[in-house]
Every structure is written in C-alpha cells, then in structure tokens.
Amino acid sequence: MLDALAQAYDLIAPVQGNNISFRRVESGSEVTLDYINPMLSAKSTFFPQTETLFRFSRDDSEEFGIEPAREPGRSQVIFGIRACDARSLRLMDMVFDGQHKDSYYLDRRKNTTLMGLACFDYLETCFCPTFGIDPASGEDVDILFSDVGDRFLVEAFTEKGTALLERFAEFFAELRGDEEQLREGRKAGLAGMKRLDVKGIADKMAQLYEGPYWDDIGTRCLGCGICTYLCPTCHCFDIADVSLDEGGERFRCWDSCMFPEFTLMVSGENPRPNQKARVQQRFFHKLKYFHDRNNELACVGCGRCVRHCPVNIDIAQIIDDVSSGKAGNE
Amino acid sequence: MKATSAELQTRVKDLFEDGTISHFIGYETGSDSLRVAPCFLEGSQEIGRLVWNPVCANNLAKYLLDFKNVPGRVGIMVKGCDSRSVVELLKENQIDRDRVFIVGVPCSGIVDREKLLQVMGISPTQVVAVQDEGDSFLVTLTDGEQRVDKEKVLRDECLVCRYPNPPVYDVLTGETVSRLPWVGDDYSMVKEQEALSLEEKATYWNRELSQCIRCYACRNICPVCTCSECIFDKKAPRWISKANDLSENLVYHLIRAFHVAGRCVDCGECERACPMNIPLRRLNKKVEKDMLELFNYTAGIDVEQQPPLTTYRVDDLDEFM
Amino acid sequence: MATPRIGAFICHCGTNIGGIVNVPEVVEYAKGLPYVAHAEANLYTCSEEGISSIKRAIEQYDLNRVVVASCTPRTHQPLFRSVCADAGLNPYLFEFVNIREHCSWIHREHHQEATEKAKDLVKMGVAKARWLEAQQEFESDIYPAGMVIGGGIAGMSAALNLANQGFEVHLVEKEPGLGGRLLRLNRIFTIDKDPRELVENIVKAVGNHPRIRVHMPASVKAVSGYIGNFDVSVDEDGQETSFKVGVIIVATGAQVLKPELYGYGESANVLTQLDLEEKLKDGELGKFQNVVMINCAGARIPERPYCSRVCCMTAIKNAALMKEINPEGKVYLLYRDLMTYGVEFEQYYRDAKEAGVRFIRYTLDALPRVSGTESVEAVKVYDELMDMEIELPCDLLVLATPLIPNDDNEELSRMLKASTGDGGFFLEAHVKLRPVEFAMDGVYVAGTCRWPADIRESIAQGYAAASEAMIPLRQGLVKVEAITAVVDPRICKGCGTCTLVCPFEAAGLKECEIRGLEGKIVSEVNAALCKGCGLCAAACPNGAIQQRGFTDVELMSMVNAMSGKR
Amino acid sequence: MQKTKEIQTEFKPKILAFCCNWCAYAGADLAGVSRFQMPTDVRVIRVMCSGRVPPELVIRALANGLDGVMVLGCHPGDCHYSEGNYLTRRRAHILKRLLTYIGIEPERFQLRWVSASEGAKFSAVVKEVTDQITALGPNRWAEKR
C-alpha cells in the first residue's frame, strides 16, 4: 500500500538514518515501523528548516524582478505520525492560521493527509496524556492505523481520510469485528504512562517570574537549539537574503530563543542578556504566554527535549515543580 | 577501590566547611538512573545531592566560566578528560588556577546510555543503579542484578581513553586507574576513513553532515569553545549562512574542527550532545592525529606547553615548494 | 558610517592597459557595482590630469571612497593616498586594484578574458572599499641617541658618524679594548699598511669624542621598546647600567673558523691565515722553505655553502709576503676559485704571480691530502692542468678559513627581534632596497655580522647604517602606517593567542579600562611595536583582533565579490 | 546532463590567490613587468603576510564555489615578519589534510613559496595550479545546496 501511496503522493514516513526521522520516501521498503517516536517531528514537512520565500533577479539597471518560489502543491501523505505530533500541528495552526495567514504553511497543511499510527507503548520520556492526548487515538489525524497484532485497524476521521481510503480500497479487507477489543487489549501497554497535573499552571508560572527557581536551570543550560529544533510546537523563524550579482532569494529558516542573537538588537542591546532569561522565556512561552493567547499549552508531551537535552533539563520535571509548588519554595 | 558518592560527599563537605571553596560543581541524579544533571552547590546543606557513578558523562569544566566572578574559590569534580579540558582553559587564561579547586576523580569508563539499553534490552525505568566493577558494570534492575562487559557498553571515547587520571587536580578522590585494559588504537577510526577514496569520503561526510540541524549543541557543549561571541554568530562578516544546507553545514563543521584543533581533548561531549548522531569525533580525532604526527603535540596534558598553531619549528615538514 | 560613495578610476596607462583591457567596458561595469557613485577612465591616472580628475570627482560626487585600478600599490599607493589626503579624504579610504602587472601585461593575447578579469578585480576592490575606514597613523617621538653594538671598524665608523652629526652614542664592546679583529691583522691588503695606523686614529677619535660613551668590556643584557624609545641595559664589567636610545646599530662582527681539517690543531705547522698574520705581526715567524696555502678550507661546502669573500685576498697578500720574507722559498696557493674582483684586486693577484707564488687549482671532489709524522710534511693535490696528482713538500701549511657568525648572534637576534638568515649571520630587511636595516624598525646592521666583508666595505656599511639611523633621529618623530592591529575588548576573551603569534611582542594582555568592561583581561596592541603583518588577526578565534585595512570583513567581501556574492 | 556537458567543453576555473605583500605579490608584479604570459583564471588578493590568511576564509572561499584557493608567501626563512610563513605552513598542513579527509580534492587548496625575484616561478605556479584545477573540473562544494 505504501508503494502505491508513494506513487500517487509525496509520501513522508519514518526512515532509519543515523536515527529515525520523517523523510520523503519512494517506496514502502524504506519505511520503518520500529519506533515509538521519530527523532525529528513531522513539523518540517509543513515548516521546513530552510524555505525559500521568493527569488529576485537583477539587471544592470538594478531593477528587481520578483518571482515567488512556491513549488506546485502536490498532495502529500504523512504516514506513521503519532498522536502528540498530530496535536502539535493543531497548535502550530493557531500560529500560522491566526490573524496572519501563512500561505506557505497552510498550503502544505491543506495538501497533506495525516496517517496516524496508534501508540501502544511509550518511552520513559513520554507524557502526552498530561495534555489530554490519547496516544492510541486518531483525534488529530485523517486516518489512524492501529496495529492490533496480526493486522492493522484502519479508521478514517475526516473526509480527506475517507476519500483516500476509498481510493486505495483494494488494500483493505473487511473488519472481522474483534479489532476494537484487540486494540483495547493492547492499550494496556500504555498503563503507567506519565500524566502530570497542569491545572492552572499558567497562573502558577506567573508567580514564578522572579525568584531563584530559574537560576540553576539557567546556569545549566548550554544555550543550544536542541530543545527548540526538536520540539514539534516551536515555530520561531528568521528571514534573510542570499544576494548574488544576478539576483538572489529571500529565505526563512528556523531560529531558536535559546540563541543569544535571537533577541540581539543592532544597537548591541540584548533584552534577554543571559541564558537564564532565555531559558525562562522558553518555558514561560510554552506554559503561559501561548496559553494566554490560545488557551492551550505549547507542549504535547512528546518528550524529545527531555530525551535529548545534554544537561538533562526536563520540562516534565519543571511542570511538576511548578504545579506542586516546589518551584516556588526554592 | 573506586570513589563512591559517599566519599565524594564527605570530601566536598569538608572543603565547604574548612572554607576552601564557596561553590561546587558536580553531578546529581537526573530524570532516571542512567542520567545525571550538572549540579551547583553553594554550601554543604544539600551535599546529599552529589553523586559519582559510571553515568556521570557531562564534562563540567566549561561551567567554571560561569563561576568566574563569584567570591571565593569554586570547587569542581573532573574525570581524566574533563581535567584535560581544564588544562586547556588554563592555557588560554579562561580561568584563574587559584580561584578553582579541582577534585579529581580517576575514571575507568562512562556508560553509553543507548548501548547499555540496547545490549541489555531494557528500558531506563528498569534501572536502579550502575556500579563500576573493573572490567564490567554491575547493573541493579528493578528485578535483580546483571553484570555487563564494559567493552560492550562504554562510550566510544572511553574505549580509547589514555588519560583516565586527571593531569591536574588539587585532591584526588579514589585510587588512580592504571592503563585501561580495553584501550586499542586511538586512531583506527580515522585510519579507516583516510583509507577511503576521495569520492567515498565525500559521500560519507555529505550523508552525515546533511543531517545536521545546526542546533550548535556540539559547539555550546564543547569545553574549549569559550568565545564570548562566536564567529558563526557574527553579522559582519557572515562566516556562515543561516540557511541550513549541506554546503553551509560543511563550512560549520570544518571551521569548528579547525577551531578546536590542538585544543580538543576528545571528551566526546559534542558527539554525546548531537541529536542527529553525527560522528563528530571522527573529524576531531583526525585533527588530533595530524597534530600528533606533524607537531608531536597532545592537548590537555601540560599547561606550559604552547599551542601548536601558535608556534613553529624551522624544520617543520614542508610539502609546499 | 556614512553610506559609502565610491569613485572608481580605471587607468588606460596609455596602451599598457588600454591596449588589452577594454577600459570603457570596465568603467561601465564599475558604474553598476554597489555603492559606486562615479566611475571614469583616465589615460594616466597618475598624471597631473588624472590626479586633478580624482580631486575634482571627490568634490563633485561627494565621494568618500576612492578605488584606482591601474598598476601596483607597491609603487603607486603612496601617491594616490596623498591625492586623497589633498582632497580632504582620509588616505586610508583608498583602495588599489592592479590591472596592469596582474592583468593586461600577463594576458596580452586574451583581450576579452583580460577584460573580464579586470572587471572581477575592480568588483573585488570596490567590495573591499565599501568597508574601508578612516585611520590615524601612530606617531611617537624619537629619543635623540643611538647605541652601536660592537667596537670594531664598522661599529666605530658608525658611532663616529652618528656622534659627529650631533647625537649621543653608546658604544658597547665586549672586549676590554676597541678595534676588533683588525688589531690582530698584520697588514691590510692592496695598500700594504699596518692596520694599527688606521685603527689607533679611529680608536682615539672615538675615545675622545664628547658624545660617545664607550661601554667595555660590556654586553647587552636586555632591550625593550621600539623605534625611538629603546630601553637598554648592559652588563659593563660586572655592573648593570641602563640607558635610553632611539636607534640601534648592530656591528658585532664575526669569527674565523678553526677547522678540523688538514691536521689543524694537531700539527704545529698548520695555521689559519689569521694565526699566520698574528705570528707575522709579532715577528714570531722564521723562514720557511716550502709554504703551502689551502683556500676555501671549510668554505663553499654543503654545510657552509657561502663564499667568505675576504680569504682569497688575504691568502694572496700573505703568500706574497712569505715570498718576500724568503725569496728562495716556494709558496704554493691551492685554490678552488679566486675572488679578486675589481681593478686593484686583480692587479694584486697578478703581482703575487709575478713574485713567484704558484697557484694550483683543486676541486671539491679531489681535496688536497696532507701527510707527515709529527707535523705536516707534504701536501698531495690533484692538478687539473697536468691531470695528475702532485706532491708538494711542506714545512708550513696555512689554511684560508671562512668567517662564521658569532655564537651570540641568536641571543642578540631574540633581544632585538632582528632576524638572522642561513648559517646564523644577521639578515637585512631587503637585500637590495633596505641593505643596512632590519625589518624591525630602528635597528640597523653593518659589517661582518651581516656577511663577510673587507675593511673598506665594513667602514662603508658603518657609515651607511649611521646615515640610515640618522633619518628618524633627525625627523625626531616616527609615523607607523595605520595597518596595525586593533582589539575589540567587547568580544576579546583574553586567551592570549595573539600574544603568542606576534613576532614583535606588540600584543599583550591587560586589564581593560573601558567603562563597563573594567577589570576584564583583554589583549591590547602597542601600535608602535605592531608591524602590521596580521598574524594575530588570522589566529584570533573569533575576530576580536583585526588588522586595519585588512579586516575579516574587507577580505571576505573581496572573496564574496569574486564568487559573485553581494 | 546538459550542464555537465557544457562544463567539460568550456570550464574555466575561478582561482583565488592570496599573495603576501613582500614576496609573492612582488613576484607577481615582476612576472607582469617581465611580461610572462599566463592563464587568466587567477585573481589576486594582497595581504601583508601569508600569515594573515585565516583558514576560515579559505574554507569560505571554497564553499562559495571558487574552484581553487592559493596562498602564496615568502620562502621559509625569508618572511618579512620573520615568522609569519612558518605559522601559515603549520595551519596549511592541518587544513589541507582536513579538506582531503572530508573528500575535497587537495589541489583545491595550495600553499606555495614565491620570492620577490621569482616572477618566472609565479607564472609557473599559476600555470601549474590552473592546469591541475581545470583537470579536476568545477568545485562540487557549490552544488551541495
């Protein structure tokens, strides 16, 4: 089926490289299913790390000719996306589909069908239930595949999904009826998954703006971009030009609030002068500012930042400290 | 007898109490038993947080820069490799020897988290503790104990570590370690790379470096990357485009490798930090090897030794006619 | 920084450039380049007309950068810089592009390609010019005194010359007396005079000179500072004295090689030419029936490849003398090649032949061989002309051995940052253009410490060095081209790399005094010591130290321009 | 395909040469004065000493797509600043090996000694290096985007 998909669409699926991450594949054979969650989220499918916005040309009279650099929106399918990453897209929509419409992101979003893969197992760093995500559910996808042992239970949740299933009907067999309970059975594997208390955390954060809690974290943080670049909900970008004699292009690329230059001004002034200020900003954005604006927390509990932070800064731990009030008492 | 957390705690407690140090940089248990987090103490009250065990991977040396201006002396615990990066920091006047108090811990190898989980086929949550038992680790699990050969689960750089004992320290906790039994040819990896054809080399690095997401973790965690403003962050001149493509990634990694040339002590932190598992040591070790072969220089041994690229010999090799 | 308004002046240089490069095309191209406010062609940009045209354009188009594309900065940069200055533009806002030596002259058959290359070069020059900054030249006073190291003939000549021009001179001689090696000689060649006549007058003149202070026996212990302001301390007969000078002349001389050849040092009848002269001078030498002299003993061989220049004449002089002492005796002079350049030298050689000295040529692949029990009794040599080995009876063997550098040259070289060349002789800044100066400003060289020289040359070099040294002393003030290094203390991390690579100890770590950075340890450059090589700028890990006129931005903008990036 | 074909037929490399003011640049001037004819593919940037050229800039130049970078300095022992070219030589050893190690043809970066009196050698070096790099073809680094 994946082969057929790869024919009809741009198929993006988990591939084993140095680590497992979502990539464009030509055939099903490239795809691996041996993962709990890929290293890189599917975010870059919609919001590439580097994306040309438009190209410009220059003739001797220094006149600019501008041409948009939008590749024809061929429809694509993401296979194997997990519930957390799927949810993260909903959060990203709030940014790119807010009062400013980002056509680059939205076109891809429109042209993409999400084929989810239900989780029946989890990593020690997973805590998506914290945000009301059911890892085995298809809430935020068009189609959900659930591995119920000897077969997949495949469900469509949107018209897009239904349409696609119909188009590839040949690959699917009738239900035998026991799939539901098989799935329920497998869900047992999810028992004991971390579920943190985030009730009213935004307000609790507000109390923590000042205070020593962030000091150690700030010192510990190296200011690298791992957390932000791996985070499926981080969406900051920078815009720059490539200028050549004959013309050039304007591109945007991921940026990170962990980097000093992120807020560096031409004057040399930097409103977030130290790593503490930057680290604090990141958690306030996720657990307060984003919530203030969108009434959602900008985290889906995928645990990537926890797993890969080289100095073990652990957002789950922080949420816990904040909720339990531990953070305040320091 | 290997140093234990308990020993370390008493030692550091004394240092606080006899007023030797005002701060201490060490490790505390992290999110699970296979992780530690850097921990900063300002007194002996929370001494209990300190741990020393075979998962203490982080090179803490760089944190000394954050404590440059605190009143009093800063204590820090260093393994062999960490201590070597302290030597480099001293060489470049980044820290003041009299303002730091170095607690050396001889180290006979650090656990590679992923290797251990792989080899034992377990999840981190099952691990209670890891103990150093000479050539093997004793892993205490929620359901019993298991022994595992170090050679199978050590971090790569530990497998070729020639400096298990800190070259500089004020006190040593635990007995010095004699030559590590498993240490083989430091440069086998490099030689194998050198043996490839130019085409193969290009293919190899293009594949690896095209995966770089330029999170700069390798730079930021590097104990010898001490520039207050890195050239990659400069606006004028722009040494590197913010656009992430193979071409720019090559520039980044080449310049990075060159900047740590003769300074890298192979603590392996860059590789540990890299989320994309790019074999950065393969680059660093190449430069290290050339420095040794061309200029007979090894970094991080002797504070008095002049960095190889700041000096010369009239009779240096000359292949440029 | 005001928005750059660059003027580009493309020179035809008659047909030198215009005959190959399509200059009008280059001008048109230049007009399209970023920040170029004006571009024009000149028949000769360096002519009166071209120069006034530049001045006019600066005025008319309100230019704040000037790029001239013509010949080489090595000859014309000073001119165009002063043109800018005259027009009220800081001379360092000028950039030179070489489209003659580096383009039209070397691509005569390829007009189109040469034109394209000229465009590239102009584009690169313009790209750099956009970043140029106004610079102030560093000026420092000159302390009106000099030190001469070495009281030999060269040193004394230099000292007298300086003193007679009215400057205080400290003359440092390591022996207890002045005069140097000259006093050990018997006679001076070609004029056949006793050197003492010559030397004693000079020594007297030096000794009695009110402005010359002689330190001896003394040796220089330490030198710090830079041109115009050297602080010197010398150990004078066990005590330390220190003084200040503005210039330093090195005239420490050389020594004669004592070879381990032809039984020298083993048999009593083997001498060097210098030994011979001393014996002759002291009249300790009897008559000899058979004297053999061997030239190039230990010279012009792989480990000592140079010609010592004075030995041939010395040998001829002494050969003739031996013949004179004992006309019946035989004198053989074995040589490889004879250095008897010039009129009177050649005549001197002929006279010796007339007098009956036998000259026999030998070659490096068939060196003479000595034989004998206690002393050397015979010398075997292969005679090219007779194509056979002949044996010469010998009761005195004299070796002409080369002058070799003094053992303390290296130490002195470190102290003065004055380079030494192959074999340890001192090395001047430029073999032709600056023959008696070191690259290190304010330090000069004369006499045999530089290279084997005879008395006449040594005296001439002494005078030359003195008059070179006089230039800054007279000006009373020295200017340093503003291409020196400068540190940005904001981003300097005080790692000291620059201090390690600087050959002139111009960079040093200091506590910063700038507001906001007080107490931060950063590098600081002493512009007077900085020679503007830029080593520090290349070695600095994060560009905290930059070389004026060759900054990272300027160099990279040229590289980018060449790559078609803007 | 079309592209590569046209490259094979009419590839003219772009080669950058950093020349030290005292030796190599003077040597280049002399070559000009002596009218030694040479390929047109080299562009010279004047620096005061070969030791001023940061390896970073060589890397940048190659990444920009220049087909070759030369650093030309005084012969060892002749440095106007007495030590500069010795430091350059050490850096060059490391850089050249590093570039080769990641698969970049070593010929693309060259350090050569040219004295002020070696106009003939300058043109010989220009010819030689131009030939070598023309033979290599275009610098593929530029295409890695």
Which residues make Cβ contacts (< 8 Å) with residue B217, sequence separation at least 6? A222, A224, A225, A226, A310, B270, B273, B274, B275
How far apart CA C563 and CA D15 sit, in angstroms, is: 10
Q: What is the CA radius of gyration of chain A?
A: 22
Which pLDDT does position C422 carry in this prediction? Answer: 67
What integer is the mean pLDDT of A131-158?
A: 94
**Structure token digits, residue A327:** 């953070």
Q: How many CA atoms lie within 13 A of D118 on its CB side?
A: 18
Q: Do D103 and B198 touch (CB under 8 A)?
A: yes
Q: For chain D, which residues make up each domain, given as ranges?
A: 13-140
Contact in structure between B257 and B287 (CB atoms under 8 Å): yes
Q: D residues 60-119 near C, CB within 8 Å?
A: 60-61, 64-66, 77, 80-84, 87
The pLDDT of residue C239 is above 80? yes
The segments of chain B whose pLDDT lies below 70 read 1-2, 321
Q: Do C543 and B310 touch (CB under 8 A)?
A: no
| Closest-CA distance of chain C to residue A12, Å | 35
Tell me the chain D residues in contact with residue B234 when contact means C-beta distances shorter than 8 Å.
none
How far apart CA C309 and CA C306 sit, in angstroms, is: 9
Cβ atoms within 10 A of the Cβ of D95, count? 24
What residue ranges of chain C are covered by domains with CATH 3.40.50? 6-135
Cβ atoms within 10 A of the Cβ of B313, count? 11
Please give the residue of chain D at the shortest CA–CA distance from C546.
Answer: D52
Select from C430, C434, C553 the least CA-distant residue to C128: C553
Strand partners, C9: C40, C68
pLDDT single digits (tens) C23-60: 999 999 999 999 999 999 999 999 999 999 999 999 99
How far apart CA C24 and CA C212 sit, in angstroms, is: 63
Q: Do D89 and B250 touch (CB under 8 A)?
A: no
| A329 — pLDDT class (breaks 50, 70, 90) | low
Which pLDDT does position D9 carry in this prediction? Answer: 57
End-to-end CA distance of chain C: 19
Contact in structure between B138 and B131 (CB atoms under 8 Å): yes
| C475 — pLDDT class (breaks 50, 70, 90) | very high
Residues of chain C with pLDDT > 70, as a percent, come to: 100
If one compares C390 and C528, the residue with the highest pLDDT of the two is C390
Partner A contacted by C74 (CB < 8 A) = no
Partner C contacted by A28 (CB < 8 A) = no
**Structure token digits, residue C135:** 């610079």
Residue D8 dihedral angles phi and psi, to the nearest 5°: -55, -40
Please give the residue of chain C at the shortest CA–CA distance from A62.
Answer: C32
Please give the residue of chain D at the shortest CA–CA distance from C434.
Answer: D80
Query: What is each CA distance from C420 to C354, C425, C442, C451, in whole angstroms?
Result: 42, 5, 16, 11
Q: Do B250 and D140 touch (CB under 8 A)?
A: no
Q: For this complex, say whether ipTM is above 0.90.
A: yes
Q: C residues 7-36 near A, CB within 8 Å?
A: 32
Which pLDDT does position B321 carry in this prediction? Answer: 64
Domain C257-403, CATH: 3.50.50.60
Contact in structure between B167 and B303 (CB atoms under 8 Å): no
C6-135 under CATH 2.40.50, yes or no: no
Handedness of CA A316, A318, A322, A325 (dihedral sign): positive
pLDDT single digits (tens) C324-350: 999 999 999 999 999 999 899 999 999
Average pLDDT, chain A: 91
The pTM score is 0.84
pLDDT single digits (tens) C100-120: 999 999 999 999 999 999 999
How far apart CA B90 and CA B78 sit, in angstroms, is: 14
Query: What is each CA distance from C393 to B321, C327, C397, in whole angstroms?
Result: 50, 17, 10
Q: Do C32 and A62 touch (CB under 8 A)?
A: yes
Among B250, B310, B316, select the one facing D141 at the smallest CB separation: B250
Strand partners, B141: B127, B144
Q: What is the CA radius of gyration of chain D?
A: 15
Which pLDDT does position A60 carry in this prediction? Answer: 59
Residue C365 dihedral angles phi and psi, to the nearest 5°: -85, -5
pLDDT single digits (tens) A285-315: 999 999 999 999 999 999 999 999 999 999 9
Strand partners, A153: A146
Following CA atoms A297, A301, A307, A312 in sequence, which dihedral angle do they give, to the nearest 10 degrees? 40
Instruction: Give helix then strand counts, H and E, for chain C.
Output: 15, 28
Q: Which fold has domain C481-548?
A: Alpha-Beta Plaits (3.30.70)
Partner A contacted by C566 (CB < 8 A) = yes
Which pLDDT does position C552 carry in this prediction? Answer: 98
| Closest-CA distance of chain D to residue C47, Å | 20
Q: Residue C514, SS3?
A: coil
**Structure token digits, residue B59:** 């090179």
Residue of D74, D75, D93, D145 best to disrupt the B interface, most CBs of B under 10 A: D93
pLDDT single digits (tens) A11-46: 999 999 888 989 999 998 999 998 999 999 999 999
Contact in structure between C380 and C368 (CB atoms under 8 Å): yes
Q: Residue A265, SS3?
A: coil
Tell me the chain B residues in contact with residue D144 when contact means C-beta distances shorter than 8 Å.
206, 245-247, 250
What residue ranges of chain C are covered by domains with CATH 3.50.50.60? 145-253+406-478, 257-403
Burial of B250 (0-12, 13-18, 19+ CB in 10 A): buried
D13-140 under CATH 3.40.50, yes or no: yes
CA C334 to centroid of chain Cα atoms = 34
Question: Which helix (H) or strand (E) covers residue C75, if one does?
Answer: helix C73-86
Which single residue is written with the structure tokens 């698969």?
Answer: D103
Which pLDDT does position A62 carry in this prediction? Answer: 59
pLDDT single digits (tens) C136-187: 998 889 999 999 999 999 999 999 999 999 999 999 999 999 999 899 999 8
Q: Do B277 and A255 touch (CB under 8 A)?
A: no
The phi-psi region of residue A73 (left if phi > 0; otherwise alpha if psi is between -120 and 50; otherwise beta) is beta
Contact in structure between C167 and C473 (CB atoms under 8 Å): yes
Partner A contacted by B17 (CB < 8 A) = no
Contact in structure between C465 and C434 (CB atoms under 8 Å): no
Strands (E), C181-265: 212-215, 218-226, 229-236, 239-245, 247-250, 254-256
Residue A179 dihedral angles phi and psi, to the nearest 5°: -55, -50
How far apart CA A178 and CA A184 sit, in angstroms, is: 10
pLDDT single digits (tens) C432-473: 778 999 878 899 999 999 999 999 999 999 999 999 999 999
pLDDT single digits (tens) D67-126: 999 999 999 988 888 899 999 999 999 999 999 999 999 999 999 999 988 999 999 999
How far apart CA C29 and CA C462 sit, in angstroms, is: 54
**Structure token digits, residue C49:** 């007309």
Q: Do D29 and C565 touch (CB under 8 A)?
A: no
Tell me the chain B residues in contact with residue C491 when contact means C-beta distances shorter than 8 Å.
227-229
Q: How many CA atoms lie within 13 A of A316 on its CB side?
A: 25
Q: Do A244 and C32 touch (CB under 8 A)?
A: no
| A73 — pLDDT class (breaks 50, 70, 90) | low
Contact in structure between A299 and A85 (CB atoms under 8 Å): no
How far apart CA B128 and CA A126 sit, in angstroms, is: 19
pLDDT single digits (tens) D20-61: 999 999 999 999 999 999 999 999 999 999 999 999 999 999
Partner C contacted by D49 (CB < 8 A) = yes
Q: Do C105 and D33 touch (CB under 8 A)?
A: yes
Partner D contacted by B211 (CB < 8 A) = no
How far apart CA A23 and CA B145 sit, in angstroms, is: 40
Which pLDDT does position D1 carry in this prediction? Answer: 35
Average pLDDT, chain C: 94
